[in-house]
């Protein structure tokens, strides 16, 4: 029996949520790396999709439908940490922006106005995503004795994410921090996150064009030359929604 | 568990019906993606009974069940744009989120076990799991799918159906089921796998009935 056989044997249990929490995490981590298991699990989930409808419907109490609609449409941000996270991210962005402006001032003659406008427009765009974000996901990352983290701001209006990787050392030589989407059909390579003089790495990403619902995101350290479709380097963060 | 009455349509009926047309030509999903608030209201109307039925049967707590259903609709409203076009139907997606949220809550709380034990002691329904009882909500949209799924479950051998009931609808882990039923864990895994292999063949072709 190979180690992979355990995952094959437990695909049904993973879909049923019958694994122990520790096993479930182990399986989820495996899915990030295993295209076959990711595909099989997604197919099983899809095939069994109607199964919960074996349970009889329950009539909502009077007024519940209205309350639900109100609860969805009239909510304020539900995450207490959202405001501080946005403020922190905005402060970082402004600092980066000011740094960019300062550098540009030194060599203003060499820079076209359009470049500066583009930079500022990008900053404004990133800030708008953070301001509109209705979901903010944070994960701590520890690497080489440094503690940092990954923050994802999800803007449901434009269906884009603002991704911030902070507090980490530069990627090892000939390596990059690689951001991935986890979809029901496997991993989809997204952007490389590059640190500039220790400043946080920012990226704005749209949803992948590949078919399959986005189920999460991951960050790995990949060899710069590695442009394969699947991650092969160490996993720094793995988030499943 | 009573078998479905023979006068009911066969499970095949669920596969041939068109997705629910809720407003004109545009699909409900497209309207949700376009941030049409009326589409959200329509989705709530049509999906709530099924989500509530599932979450209430799993959580045995109406308030908590309603909280989960609200969470599901919030997620749906926020994330429907990322739902894979042909890979998962809208209703299965909502049900999957609801079931996962309900299981998360079951595992976070300890009292569900106490409730289950109390119900068992009182000669109730046993562990807090769905019983697939015959409801009297046959006018509810989606009823034909319920019939098809119900029939598929009924066709399983009793021992496989019991494992599905405890694992899929009860949030029990392998080891908890093994302990509950007094059988080896390997047997639990095998029964679950065999049950899913049969169910997926029957259920895979059921169309999503919420466009």
The residue with greater pLDDT, B19 or A2, is A2
Among A218, A215, A241, which Cα is nearest to A41's? Answer: A215
C-alpha to C-alpha distance for A187 and A33, rounded to whole angstroms: 8
Question: CA–CA separation, B186 vs A179, rounded Å?
Answer: 38
pLDDT, greater one: A169 or A128? A169
- The pLDDT tens digits of the residues spanning A199-237 come to 788 888 888 877 777 888 888 888 887 777 778 888 888
B191 pLDDT tier (thresholds 50, 70, 90): very high
**A137 contacts in chain B (CB < 8 Å):** none
Task: Give the max Cα distance, chain B.
Answer: 54
Q: Within an 8 Å CB–CB cutoff, is residue B71 touching chain A? A: no
Q: Do B35 and A157 touch (CB under 8 A)?
A: yes
pLDDT confidence of residue B67: 94
**pLDDT (tens digit, 9 = 90+) per residue, B166-188?**
999 988 999 999 998 999 999 99
Burial class (CB in 10 A: 0-12, 13-18, 19+), A74: exposed
- Asked whether the predicted pLDDT for residue B24 surpasses 60, the reply is no
Angle at CA of residue A20, ends A55 and A13, nearest 5°:
50
| Among the partner residues A65, A67, A214, nearest to B82 by beta-carbon distance | A214
Q: What is the pLDDT of residue B211?
A: 61
One DSSP character per residue, B33-90 reads HTT-HHHHHHHHHHHHHHHHHHHHHHH--HHHHHHHHHHHHHHHHHHGGGS-TTTS-H
Mean pLDDT across the stretch A61-76?
86
Q: Is the ipTM of this complex over 0.90?
A: no
Q: Is A134 on the interface with B (CB under 8 A)?
A: yes
The beta-carbon neighbor of B133 closest among A10, A56, A154 is: A56
Distance (Å) from the alpha carbon of A68 to chain B's nearest alpha carbon:
6
Q: Give the rounded percent of residues in chain B with a pLDDT score beyond 70.
A: 71
B199/A contact by beta carbon, under 8 A: yes
B193/A55 CB distance under 8 A: no
| Chain A residues 201-220 with CB within 8 Å of chain B | 207, 211-214
- Structure confidence at residue A90 (pLDDT): 61
Assess B4–A contact: CB distance below 8 Å, yes or no. no
Cα B45 to Cα A88: distance, rounded to the nearest angstrom = 40
Which carries the bigger pLDDT value, residue A64 or residue A216? A64
Report the residue from B49, B132, B172 with minimal CB separation from A58.
Answer: B49
A157 touches B: beta carbon within 8 Å: yes
Mean pLDDT of A54-63: 91
Q: Do A18 and B206 touch (CB under 8 A)?
A: no
Best B30, B91, B145, B149 member to test A by mutation, with max A CBs in 10 Å, is B149
C-alpha to C-alpha distance for A139 and A142, rounded to whole angstroms = 10
Position A198 confidence tier, pLDDT thresholds 50, 70, 90: low
Q: What is the DSSP letter of A110?
A: G
Contact list in B for residue A183 (CB cut-off 8 A) is 84
Among the partner-chain residues B81, B95, B174, the one whose CB lies closest to the CB of A53 is B95
- Report yes or no: A138 at the B interface, CB cutoff 8 Å: no
Instruction: Please indicate if any CB of chain A lies within 8 Å of the CB of B101.
Output: no
**pLDDT digits over A113-159, tens only?**
666 666 677 777 777 777 777 778 888 888 777 788 888 988 776 77
Please name the residue of chain B whose CA is at the shortest distance from the CA of residue A64.
B66
Token pair, residue B162, equals 């019991």
Q: Name which of A13, A51, A134 is nearest B78 (Cβ-Cβ).
A: A134
Cα–Cα distance measured from residue B83 to residue A221, given in angstroms and rounded to the nearest whole number? 28
pLDDT in tens, B45-82: 999 999 999 999 999 889 999 999 999 999 899 888 77
Nearest to A89, CA basis, from A143, A149, A171 = A149
**Cβ-nearest to A12 among B40, B172, B192:** B192
Q: Is A26 in CB contact (< 8 Å) with chain B?
A: no
Q: Mean pLDDT score of chain B, rounded to an integer?
A: 78
Assign B7 a pLDDT band (cuts: 50, 70, 90).
Answer: very low
Q: How far is CA B57 from CA A41, A54, A59, B48, B208, in A?
A: 25, 11, 13, 14, 22
Chain A residue whose CA is closest to B205 = A47
A199 or A102, which is more confident: A199
* pLDDT band of B39, cuts 50, 70, 90: very high
Confidence of residue B85 (pLDDT cuts 50, 70, 90): low
Distance CA A28, CA A11 (A): 11
Percentage of residues in chain A having pLDDT higher than 90: 20
Query: Least CB-CB distance to A54: which of B52, B150, B188?
Result: B150
Q: What is the pLDDT of residues B100-140, one digit of tens each?
A: 999 988 887 764 454 554 445 433 333 344 445 554 566 78
| Averaged pLDDT score across all residues of chain A | 79
Cβ of B32 under 8 Å from any chain A Cβ? no
């Amino acid at each position: 029996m190979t180690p992979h056989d355990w995952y094959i044997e437990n695909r049904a249990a993973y879909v049923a949520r019958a694994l122990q929490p520790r096993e479930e995490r182990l399986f989820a981590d495996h899915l990030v790396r295993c295209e076959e298991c990711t595909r099989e699990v997604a197919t099983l989930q899809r095939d069994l999709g109607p199964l919960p409808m074996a349970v009889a419907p329950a009539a909502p109490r009077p007024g519940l439908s209205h309350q639900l609609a109100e609860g969805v449409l009239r909510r304020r941000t539900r995450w207490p940490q959202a405001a501080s996270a946005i403020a922190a991210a905005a402060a970082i962005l402004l600092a980066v922006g000011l740094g960019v402006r300062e550098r540009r001032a030194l060599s203003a003659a060499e820079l076209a106005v359009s470049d500066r406008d583009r930079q500022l427009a990008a900053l404004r765009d990133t800030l708008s995503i953070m301001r509109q974000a209705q979901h903010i996901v944070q994960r701590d990352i520890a690497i080489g004795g440094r503690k940092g983290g990954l923050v994802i701001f999800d803007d449901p209006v434009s269906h884009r994410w603002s991704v911030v990787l902070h507090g980490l050392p530069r990627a090892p030589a000939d390596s990059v921090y690689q951001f991935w989407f986890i979809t029901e059909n496997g991993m989809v390579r997204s952007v490389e996150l590059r640190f500039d003089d220790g400043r946080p790495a920012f990226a704005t990403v749209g949803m992948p064009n590949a078919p399959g619902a986005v189920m999460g995101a991951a960050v790995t350290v990949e060899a710069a030359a590695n442009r394969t479709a699947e991650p092969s380097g160490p996993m720094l963060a793995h988030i499943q929604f | 568990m009573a078998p479905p009455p023979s006068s009911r349509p066969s499970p095949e009926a669920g596969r041939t019906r068109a997705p629910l047309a809720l407003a004109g030509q545009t699909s409900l999903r497209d309207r949700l993606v376009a941030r049409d608030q009326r589409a959200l209201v329509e989705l709530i109307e049509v999906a709530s009974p099924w989500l509530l039925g599932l979450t209430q049967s799993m959580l045995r707590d109406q308030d908590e069940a309603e909280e989960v259903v609200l969470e599901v609709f919030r997620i749906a409203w926020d994330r429907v744009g990322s739902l894979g076009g042909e890979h998962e139907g809208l209703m299965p997606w909502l049900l999957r989120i609801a079931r996962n949220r309900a299981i998360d809550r079951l595992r976070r709380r300890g009292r569900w076990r106490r409730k289950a034990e109390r119900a068992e002691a009182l000669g109730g329904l046993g562990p807090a799991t769905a019983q697939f009882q015959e409801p009297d909500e046959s006018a509810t949209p989606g009823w034909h799918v319920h019939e098809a799924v119900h029939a598929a479950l009924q066709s399983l051998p009793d021992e496989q159906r019991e494992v599905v009931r405890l694992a899929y609808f009860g949030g029990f882990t392998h080891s908890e089921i093994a302990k509950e039923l007094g059988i080896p864990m390997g047997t639990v895994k095998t029964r679950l796998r065999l049950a899913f292999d049969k169910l997926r063949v029957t259920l895979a072709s059921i169309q999503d009935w919420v466009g």
